[in-house]
Each structure stands twice: as C-alpha cells, then as structure tokens.
C-alpha cells in the first residue's frame, strides 16, 4: 500500500482526552478513531491488525473442531427471561431498545441464550453431539467505566465459542483442548511470555473457571502468580484451601496487575435446563446438554499488545499481527531514480508474498522516521539518494532498533528472512 494514498494521517501529538496508552498510540498513529468514550472505529491499519488476530483465533478454533456462525445482535426478551438474565438487577450492562410497537429488544452482550435456543432445531440424539460452535461477533455492554481505550469498549468484537457435550467427560476433554488452543493463540499474537492461565471461581457446575491474564499495569485485575508453575489464581479464589489444592506456596506467589484477555467456563446444564435443550441418550432417555463457553475480546487483545509492546517512540507490533511486514521509507522521493528504485523493490517484495507499506509521501526524512517508529511495522528499509549511489542500504528492526547495512544484492534475502 502507498502511504500517500492512505486516508488516515498520523498526529504530531497523542490525543489529550485519552488516559490509556493503547488508545493514545492507536489514535495518534491512525489505527482507530474515537467516536465517544468506549466507542471506537477501526481504520485501515487497525482493521488489518484486527483481521490478523481474527485469523489466528479462527485457525486455532477450527483446529479443535469449531464450526463458525454469526448470530444476530438483536435479542428476544422472552429467551432471556427464561434464564433470568433480562432483569436489569441481574445484568446491569444491557443496552435495550424497542420496536415501533413497543416490543422490547436487547443488544446482545453475550450469546448463550440465542444459540442454545437455536440448537433445539438441530440436536435430538446423542448422535448429534458433541458440537463446538463459534463466532466473531459484536457485543454491546453498557460498561460503567470505559477509560481503558479498546481494552474495555461499550461495543467490541468477541470470539465466543460454545461447546455442547453429552457427558462431563466429553466436556472436560474439549475444555482441555480449548485451554491449550488459547495458550497457542496468546503465544502467536506475541503475548505468550506474559499471559498466564489463572484459576477463577467456577459457578455452580465446577470448582474453577479459567481466565487468561496478561501482565500489564493497564489491567484492572489483581492475580497471584507462580512464575515457576506458569499459573496464577485470581482474587476470588485466593485462599489457603485453593493454594493447597493447586500445590502453590503462598510465599512464592507474586501479586501482579493484569488484564483478562480470555476466559473459559463450564456452564453445566444451566442454559440447557432453562431453555430445554435436551438429547436422547443411548437408552432413549432425555438428558440436558452439558455446555461450556470460551471467550476472547479481540480489541482487548489488540490493546493489550500495544500496552505491552510499545516503547517511547510508538508501537512495536509482533510480526504475526503487524499491519504490514515491511515499511519502505523513500527519502528524496522527488528524485526519479530513487523513486523508481523504491517502487521496484516494493513490487518485488509483494511478489514474494510480503505485505509492504511504502512511504512515498511528500514529507521530510525526520517526519518519515518518526511516523515509521510510531506505526511500528517490524522491519523498515530506507531508500535514499545516498543509499542508491553507494549501493549500501539500511534495514532497521523496529523492536531492537538494530541497524543492518546490506549490499544491494543482499536486500531481498535479508528482507525475506
Ligand atoms: P471483565 O471482568 O474484564 O469485565 P468479563 O468477565 O465481563 O470481563 P466475559 O463476559 O467473560 O468478560 O467476556 C469474554 C472476553 O471478552 C473477556 O475475556 C475479554 O477478553 C473480553 N471483554 C469483556 N468485556 C470487554 C469489553 N468491555 N471490551 C472489550 N473486551 C471485553
Ligand atoms: Mg465485564
């Protein structure tokens, strides 16, 4: 992509009305736009990152047998009354609206109810189970505080998977697979070293649920971490009994601030009982389906990466989710030789399958360098009159800021690494 054609512009300074580092940097670099508190738009660069995160999650969900769907945001009050979740006393984050005839509707903040109901048309016998169903879908939540940028939106994209199993054993087999898939996802997006499976309270159907907590001061949670065992417990279950049970020694735990980037939960038969999702077992008796839910907030994950990976100059994207692989900076862009050289390289790299942003804007070198650091593409190469004349080019690694001098003949090999 030619940066001169990109409709978004970087800003000289971070927006003053944002507290969160992720929002400051993402707005300043032109990844997102703020509509109002807790409501953000994804711009071209931001959408590229979000789609890469989405694809990583999709691959891992497909790998464990997930089938992708997309449910509506508009919610039928009757279904939610059956589980006692329509009531504003029980759920305080609903956005509700009305049809012209005054029928109330909700904007989905999660999707257990509609999916459980939908499956009544498709699940009859033990032969129809297990099933694992997921979506990438917009959730609406009327959050009281929305000061964490895209880490806590009032409208946000979530991957939510729901499992439907015959027996506890079948449920827990899948639960373990989902847990491993989650660890892979956080590894692949670049948060593997700072994300820990965390024991949390489990509701009425199991002792624990599991959160995936990433260590960052931008988080709103406190967890107690065993670095050695690579697990943590959250505040709800931090007590002597639980620590004993998990073989954790209180004195070896670190109290750290973290953000929940995902969670997995045994729902038991709570929803299948209330909405009557049953199947005939092998003896012909009716049984309630055993369910689980598995969520990841994509915007929260993207914001968390920015919090964890940025430096004083801007964002530092991990390779797997960067909006582009390579940033070509064209200096002396009015010089025809230089410009031609840069665009030839641009085309070659694209032919080799690289995603490239080329800064062909009519701007000075200083501004191009500063913007390149701010935008945070992993690798950059500078094409200038001097470089073309000397056949010596500088390749800069965004993360380490390490500069590698390469000869003209080695450029492609170096950039394809
Ligand atoms: P929190 O305690 O942070 O409010 P939650 O327990 O309400 O989270 P869930 O309902 O389990 O979260 O949602 C599943 C996932 O969706 C979370 O793990 C998180 O990654 C993401 N998420 C939840 N609320 C938001 C939000 N307001 N904005 C962005 N992502 C969110
Ligand atoms: Mg919440």
Q: Read off the DSSP letter of residue 289.
A: P
Q: How far is the CA of 116 from the centre of ligand 2 (A)?
A: 21
Mutational test site, ligand 1, from 108, 209, 295, max ligand atoms within 8 Å of CB: 295
Average pLDDT of the chain is 97
| 263 ligand 1 Cβ < 6 A | yes
pLDDT tens-digit readout, 27-59: 999 999 999 999 999 999 999 999 999 999 999
Q: Concatenate the DSSP letters of all residues of 354-403 into one string.
A: --EEEE-SS--HHHHHHHHHHHT-SEEEEE-HHHHHHTEEEEEETTT--E
**Averaged over 93-122, what is the pLDDT?**
98
In angstroms, the CA 186 to CA 192 distance is 5
Q: CATH fold of 3-309, please?
A: BirA Bifunctional Protein; domain 2 (3.30.930)
- Reported as a pLDDT band with limits 50, 70 and 90, residue 203 is confident
| 368 ligand 1 Cβ < 6 A | no
pLDDT recorded at residue 7: 98
In angstroms, the CA 188 to CA 191 distance is 7
pLDDT tens-digit readout, 247-303: 999 999 999 999 999 999 999 999 999 999 999 999 999 999 999 999 999 999 999
Q: CATH fold of 324-415, please?
A: Rossmann fold (3.40.50)
pLDDT over 90, % of the chain: 98
**Averaged over 87-103, what is the pLDDT?**
97
pLDDT recorded at residue 311: 96
pLDDT over 70, % of the chain: 100
Domain extents in the chain: 3-309, 324-415
pLDDT recorded at residue 417: 83
In angstroms, the CA 282 to CA 271 distance is 22
pLDDT tens-digit readout, 175-192: 999 999 999 999 999 999
| 139 ligand 1 Cβ < 6 A | no
pLDDT recorded at residue 280: 98
pLDDT tens-digit readout, 339-390: 999 999 999 999 999 999 999 999 999 999 999 999 999 999 999 999 999 9
pLDDT tens-digit readout, 219-256: 999 999 999 999 999 999 999 999 999 999 999 999 99
In angstroms, the CA 86 to CA 72 distance is 17
């Amino acid at each position: 992509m030619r940066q001169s054609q990109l409709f978004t512009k970087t800003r000289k300074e971070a927006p003053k009305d944002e507290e969160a580092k992720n929002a400051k940097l993402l707005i300043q670099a032109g990844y997102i736009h703020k509509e109002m508190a807790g409501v953000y738009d994804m711009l071209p660069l931001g959408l590229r990152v979000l789609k890469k995160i989405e694809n990583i999650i999709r691959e891992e969900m497909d790998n464990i047998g997930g089938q992708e769907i997309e449910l509506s945001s508009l919610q039928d009050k009757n279904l939610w009354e059956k589980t006692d979740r329509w009531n504003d006393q029980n759920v305080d984050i609903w956005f509700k609206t009305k049809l012209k005839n005054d029928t109330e509707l909700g904007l989905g903040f999660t999707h257990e109810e509609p999916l459980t109901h939908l499956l009544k048309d498709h699940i009859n016998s033990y032969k129809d189970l297990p099933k694992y169903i997921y979506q990438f879908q917009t959730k609406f939540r009327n959050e009281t505080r929305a000061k964490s940028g895209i880490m806590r939106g009032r409208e946000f994209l979530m991957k939510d998977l729901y499992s439907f199993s015959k027996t506890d054993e079948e449920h827990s087999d899948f639960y373990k697979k989902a847990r491993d898939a989650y660890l892979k996802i956080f590894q692949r997006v670049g948060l593997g070293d700072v994300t820990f499976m965390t024991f949390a309270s489990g509701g009425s159907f199991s002792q624990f649920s599991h959160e995936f907590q990433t260590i960052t001061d931008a988080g709103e949670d406190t967890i107690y971490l065993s670095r050695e065992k690579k697990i943590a417990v959250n505040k709800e279950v931090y007590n002597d009994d639980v620590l004993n049970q998990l073989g954790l020694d209180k004195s070896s735990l670190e109290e750290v601030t973290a953000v929940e980037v995902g969670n997995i939960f045994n729902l038991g038969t709570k929803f299948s009982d209330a909405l009557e999702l049953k199947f005939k077992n092998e003896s012909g008796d009716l049984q309630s389906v055993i369910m689980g839910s598995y969520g990841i907030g994509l915007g929260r994950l993207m914001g968390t990466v920015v919090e964890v990976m940025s430096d004083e100059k801007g964002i530092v994207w991990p390779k797997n989710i960067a909006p582009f692989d390579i940033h070509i900076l064209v200096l002396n862009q009015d010089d025809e030789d230089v410009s031609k050289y840069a665009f030839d390289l641009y085309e070659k790299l694209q032919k080799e399958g690289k995603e490239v942003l080329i800064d062909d804007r009519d701007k000075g070198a200083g501004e191009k360098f500063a913007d390149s650091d701010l935008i945070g593409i992993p690798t950059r190469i500078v094409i200038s009159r001097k470089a073309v004349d000397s056949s010596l080019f500088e390749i800069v690694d965004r993360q380490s800021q390490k500069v590698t001098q390469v000869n003209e003949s080695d450029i492609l090999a170096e950039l394809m690494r």
